[in-house]
Amino acid sequence: MIELHSVGNIRPHRLFASLCAAMLILAAVLVLPHASQPAPRVPLLVPVFSSAQATLNAIIAYLVLLQFHMERNDPDALISIAFAYSSLLTLVLLVSLPGVLTSDDHFARLAPALGWLWVAKLAGHALLILLAMLLWRKWPARTAARGEIHCRVALVAFVPVLLVGCACALVNGLASNLPLLQDGQGSYASLARGWPGLFILACWACALLSVLLVTRLRRSFDCWLAFSCLAYLLYLTVNFSSALRFTAGWYLSRLFELTASATLLGALLFEVLRMQRQLKTLYQSAYQISIRDGLTGLYSRRYFDTALAHEQQLMAHTRRPLSLLMIDIDFFKRYNDTYGHPAGDDCLRQVAACLQDSARSSDIVARYGGEEFAVILPDTDANEARQAAERLRNAIMARGIPAASPAGRERLVVTVSIGLGCRRSDPQAAGETTLIDEADHALYDAKRQGRNRVACRIL
Ligand SMILES: Nc1nc2c(ncn2[C@@H]2O[C@H](COP(=O)(O)OP(=O)(O)OP(=O)(O)O)[C@@H](O)[C@H]2O)c(=O)[nH]1
């Protein structure tokens, strides 16, 4: 069975993702000693980064959901939830920024809760990926019923909203009892060096390890998901090492965060394009299979019927003649009985090849059925069609395929009888079946008159 699959050639992805990972680690190592160095303050970058991050993660969630819908790989549903959850919480954090939907005073009151919401966002994102990996083996890829998969897609779209609602309610409810993650100077050192920071780092380290160990990077998506986990891990490492906003480390860490999403999105889009190309190729080969006869490679009967109808429609406009040849191999039953069916098949292939080689490129040569062939000759009148038919008949004789001759007779070659039907320019003169019928009757005449000849019926 021809199948559309998303595995493709995985090696370039593994190589490229490893190279990107090495570059990211190198950048982190180079910047770590200078992470706390102050850099120019660009406050506008915070909402810009957050909007970009929320958008990228939302698109990733959507594309992974489509991947889940297509491949029915249940862990993909959880990964989609992870990115949708992160996107929604980023939006919540974005609208809480002073000047967006919140005044400075209000933001000051919200700040403790927002710090914890940020922890919930990053930890939840990593934990959902980890959960997907832990359930990987328990949820082998399988074919779910159509209704079932639609239910799950709806559920996947709903769960992130529920999770974000729970996280906001929980953080809001506990805010007064939770320790402050930022001091008055805006330093988040207590978050970075305390257990919440370590917890988030541990979550992303486990997510990365689980993706590597469980998926074994079999799909391109797995490679880039692992890269994304690594980028998040480096984002947090560099971010925590500066503990202040608008420092070299803080800027680079935000770039790492964007890289984590942008590369995964790029890989998903690449995959979509690759599958589109694959789909096109599969469609083309499936189409060729559907219009070709399996034994001879000529056009199939189905294609012939469509082509004849099309040519007749064309003729109605152009008022040009249209001819049809029905060709039958003489004494083919005797050939089969003498040499066997496999040899008979071979003879059919040879005759088909000979017809195809001798016909014009504009002619449509088809296997009509059994040992009968049909050739549509567009824009060809009866005289030209008769010449073409004689050419085909002679070409088959010249091929010299040994025929099954009756005992005591000289050795003969395979011949064909040809019936010719021709329709002149009046499209109302007769229906499509009549042209076939006439060619068929002419073929019968050719057989009756002694075979190996062309007989003609003109409408
Ligand atoms: N090997 C092979 N034989 C086929 C195929 N399709 C039809 N045939 C055979 O073609 C033969 C057609 O025989 P008939 O219709 O009696 O015609 P004929 O022996 O050619 O006699 P005339 O047409 O009167 O010259 C039958 O024996 C079919 O079994 C095929 O795909 N492969």
Q: What are 189-244's pLDDT values in tens digits? A: 777 778 889 999 999 999 999 999 999 998 889 999 999 999 999 999 999 988 88
Distance, in Å, from the CA atom of 358 to the CA atom of 352, rounded to the nearest integer, reads: 10
- State whether 90 and 230 are in the same domain: yes
Task: Note the pLDDT of residue 185.
Answer: 66
Q: Fill in the amino acid letter for 221.
A: F
Task: Note the pLDDT of residue 39.
Answer: 87
CA dihedral (199, 201, 205, 211) in degrees, to 10, reads 90
Distance, in Å, from the CA atom of 345 to the CA atom of 349, rounded to the nearest integer, reads: 6
Distance from Cα 418 to the centre of ligand 1, integer Å: 15
Task: Note the pLDDT of residue 1.
Answer: 43
- State whether 245 and 307 are in the same domain: no
Nearest CA to ligand 1 atom 23: 330
State whether the beta carbon of 345 lies less than 6 angstroms from ligand 1. yes
- State whether 262 and 366 are in the same domain: no
State whether the beta carbon of 369 lies less than 6 angstroms from ligand 1. no
Nearest atom (ligand 1) to Cα of 417: 25
Task: Note the pLDDT of residue 429.
Answer: 55
Q: What's the whole-number mean pLDDT along residues 34-54?
A: 89
- Environment class of 278 (CB within 10 Å of its CB; exposed 0-12, middle 13-18, buried 19+): middle
Two structure tokens written together for 299:
């056009």
Nearest CA to ligand 1 atom 7: 370
Domain membership of residue 162 (yes or no) is yes
Residue 180 has pLDDT above 80, yes or no: no
Nearest CA to ligand 1 atom 6: 370
Nearest CA to ligand 1 atom 8: 370
Two structure tokens written together for 345:
């098949």
Nearest CA to ligand 1 atom 14: 333
Give the three-class secondary structure for 247: strand
The CA-based angle 210-216-217, given to 5 degrees, is 105
- State whether 51 and 192 are in the same domain: yes
Residue 430 has pLDDT above 60, yes or no: no
Residue 2 has pLDDT above 50, yes or no: no
Two structure tokens written together for 409:
């007779």
Residue 186 has pLDDT above 70, yes or no: no
- State whether 307 and 283 are in the same domain: no
Range of weakest confidence among 35-44, 190-199, 400-409, 438-447: 400-409
User: At what angle are helices 301-318 and 432-448 packed, to 10 degrees?
Assistant: 110
> Phi/psi at 410 (nearest 5 deg)?
-65, 155
Task: Find out whether 196 and 121 touch, Cβ atoms under 8 Å.
Answer: no
Q: What's the whole-number mean pLDDT along residues 400-410?
A: 80
> Phi/psi at 345 (nearest 5 deg)?
-60, -40
Pick from 288, 314, 346: which residue ends a domain? Answer: 288
Cα–Cα distances (Å) from 231 to 26, 36, 258, 289, in that order, read 12, 20, 9, 46
- State whether 198 and 282 are in the same domain: yes
Distance from Cα 332 to the centre of ligand 1, integer Å: 5
Pick from 253, 288, 323: which residue ends a domain? Answer: 288
Domain membership of residue 295 (yes or no) is no
**Residue 317: band (very low, low, confident or very high) from pLDDT cuts 50, 70, 90:** confident
**ipTM of predicted complex:** 0.95
Number of Cβ within 10 Å of residue 95's Cβ equals 12
Domain count, the chain: 2
Task: Note the pLDDT of residue 176.
Answer: 72
Q: What's the whole-number mean pLDDT along residues 418-445?
A: 80
- State whether 31 and 145 are in the same domain: yes
Average pLDDT, the chain: 88
Q: What's the whole-number mean pLDDT along residues 26-45?
A: 89
Distance from Cα 340 to the centre of ligand 1, integer Å: 12
Distance from Cα 370 to the centre of ligand 1, integer Å: 6
Domain membership of residue 224 (yes or no) is yes
Task: Note the pLDDT of residue 136.
Answer: 80
Domain membership of residue 4 (yes or no) is no
Domain membership of residue 3 (yes or no) is no
Of the two residues 113 and 147, the one the predictor is more confident about is 113
Predicted TM-score of the model (pTM): 0.72
Ligand 1 pocket test: pick from 332, 417, 445 the residue with the most ligand atoms within 8 Å of its Cβ: 332
Pick from 265, 288, 311: which residue ends a domain? Answer: 288
According to DSSP, residue 279 is labeled: H
Domain holding 352: CATH number?
3.30.70.270
Q: What are 266-276's pLDDT values in tens digits? A: 999 998 898 89
Distance from Cα 335 to the centre of ligand 1, integer Å: 8
- State whether 277 and 308 are in the same domain: no
State whether the beta carbon of 235 lies less than 6 angstroms from ligand 1. no
Residue 101 has pLDDT above 90, yes or no: no
Task: Note the pLDDT of residue 63.
Answer: 94
pLDDT > 70: what percent of the chain?
Answer: 88
Residue whose token pair is 């609208």: 95
- State whether 329 and 247 are in the same domain: no
Domain membership of residue 114 (yes or no) is yes
Task: Find out whether 411 and 323 touch, Cβ atoms under 8 Å.
Answer: no
- State whether 253 and 335 are in the same domain: no
How far from each other are the two terminal CA atoms of the chain, in whole angstroms?
A: 46
Residue 188 has pLDDT above 80, yes or no: no
Of the two residues 71 and 200, the one the predictor is more confident about is 200
Domain membership of residue 330 (yes or no) is yes
Helical (H) or strand (E) element with 427: none
Strand partners, 407: none
Task: Note the pLDDT of residue 75.
Answer: 87
Nearest CA to ligand 1 atom 5: 370
Chain CA centroid to CA 256, Å:
29
- State whether 306 and 283 are in the same domain: no
Q: Fill in the amino acid letter for 352.
A: A
Q: What's the whole-number mean pLDDT along residues 122-137?
A: 92
Task: Find out whether 421 and 438 touch, Cβ atoms under 8 Å.
Answer: yes
Give the three-class secondary structure for 421: strand
Its domain, for residue 103, covers: 11-288
Distance, in Å, from the CA atom of 86 to the CA atom of 58, rounded to the nearest integer, reads: 8
State whether the beta carbon of 333 lies less than 6 angstroms from ligand 1. yes
Distance, in Å, from the CA atom of 181 to the CA atom of 194, rounded to the nearest integer, reads: 9
Residue whose token pair is 């996947």: 156
- State whether 231 and 377 are in the same domain: no
Domain membership of residue 409 (yes or no) is yes
Task: Note the pLDDT of residue 3.
Answer: 46
Range of weakest confidence among 56-65, 232-241, 286-295, 433-442: 433-442
Distance from Cα 308 to the centre of ligand 1, integer Å: 24
Residue 374 has pLDDT above 90, yes or no: yes
**Residue 73: band (very low, low, confident or very high) from pLDDT cuts 50, 70, 90:** confident
Q: Fill in the amino acid letter for 254.
A: R
Handedness of CA 158, 161, 165, 166 (dihedral sign): positive
Distance, in Å, from the CA atom of 360 to the CA atom of 389, rounded to the nearest integer, reads: 12
> Phi/psi at 122 (nearest 5 deg)?
-70, -40
Task: Note the pLDDT of residue 304.
Answer: 96
- Burial code (b: 16+ CB inside 10 Å, e: under 16) for 244-275 equals bbbbbbbbbbbbbbbbbbbbbbebbeebeeeb
pLDDT > 90: what percent of the chain?
Answer: 59
